[in-house]
Structure 1
């Protein structure tokens, strides 16, 4: 078994880099969704949601950078074009969303897709003995589960 510079199996690391790039692409779509609903939200919940969506997109921007840096740490190259992002998108694309309920439902649907990708990465990172990716996925999952709970509470679900 060939090991890379940080002591991980080269073949398993290639799989992780690919999956991290898919996650990166989906986070970029999620980020753009958040920007769009932040800009276009209307209604009585405007002030509350406008601020919340800004908080979420700022947080997503930091996570995007962390994921890209993890790809680099593992010896890969992060995806960085909109074409790449759309070719790997599993997160729904939100367009013309200005109503509060639709915006929050988009967030829940997007995070649900991200969670699927992260859980798969968590399993593969464990198998590859990649504690760095494992810890990152664990942190993302617990934080996003809480966000889904809070968004569903707002939706009264």
Structure 2
């Protein structure tokens, strides 16, 4: 988060009700000091979830740790950056978070940082009734950096 805020300071606000970017996680006082600013109460996490679901809110990027992958419905979400191994039903539920139609949005974009293609193929074979065309982008290090330094908005609908 610090690197993103350094590149895009205008996206950040310490106020939970403001800012284009937030981190959502549970934790405790035993977690590392750099986690502490992002550990919120249940009510604060609920408020952030409501912000994320509101397409009119300025919140555009939410970094989550083991949260909102199941039971979270926000059809306006467009892009998910995955850097955690997943498989099976959990993987299908995770990608379903962004692969929803909403207004002019035809679907979602999954940016795979760790190589989930085989796990996704396996999950689709088990959980999908028909084969679907799929496009996965495996960014190299330079492309990963360019996503955060480009002038592209996180919600522009195009790979940056």
With the length of structure 1 as denominator, give the TM-score of the two structures.
0.28
More relative contact order, 1 or 2 (CA 8 Å, 6+ apart): 1
**TM-score, normalised relative to structure 2:** 0.28
Q: Which has the higher helix share?
A: 1
